[in-house]
Amino acid sequence: MYDLIVTAGPADARAVFRDAVEVIPDVALLRVAFSEFEERLGNLEAARSLLKATFQQLPSAFSFSSFQRFVRRQDGKVAARCCFSDTASLRQEQVLNYEVFPISEILYWKRLRN
């Protein structure tokens, strides 16, 4: 995909990502790759909205950790820690299970070390 950026340009690569997400919308990895593409191009709001939509539409430890890591890179460790607090209802409903706890705790301990 990144070769397409060099040869055809970002607009064509973006169109390919959009078409792919439309054809197979249940693949979170594809959406995360799309958001990483947007982040590399400096379209941070597009990347954030893609990751947030991925987490809302396909809630899982993977989509949560992808969104939380993005928030950490862009907004800092405290904001990333707040993401975990926002998942309380999903954890109580068992939409998200125990895997989100280690992800969040790793960020917390890294914050304490710094």
What's the whole-number mean pLDDT along residues 93-110? 66
How far is the first Cα of the chain from the last one, in angstroms, to the nearest whole number?
A: 36
Amino acid at 78: V
Contact predicate 62/78, CB 8 Å = no
Q: Residue 83 in contact with residue 67, Cβ under 8 Å?
A: yes
Q: List b or e across 95-109, with b for residues whose CB sees 16 or more CB atoms inside 10 angstroms.
A: ebeeebeebbeebee
Query: 27-31, 63-67, 97-101: which has the minimum mean pLDDT?
Result: 97-101
Look up the pTM and report it.
0.76
Quick one: average pLDDT of 44-59? 94
Asked if pLDDT for residue 108 goes beyond 80, the answer is no
Contact between 84 and 68 (Cβ < 8 Å): yes
- Mean pLDDT computed over 32-42: 94
More confident residue, 91 or 76: 76
- What is residue 79's predicted lDDT score, i.e. its pLDDT? 87
Asked if 64 and 96 touch (Cβ cutoff 8 Å), the reply is yes
Model pLDDT, residue 93: 74
Measure the CA–CA gap between 73 and 80, rounded to whole angstroms.
Answer: 9
Percent of the chain with pLDDT over 90: 41
Q: How many CB atoms lie within 10 A of CB 94?
A: 8
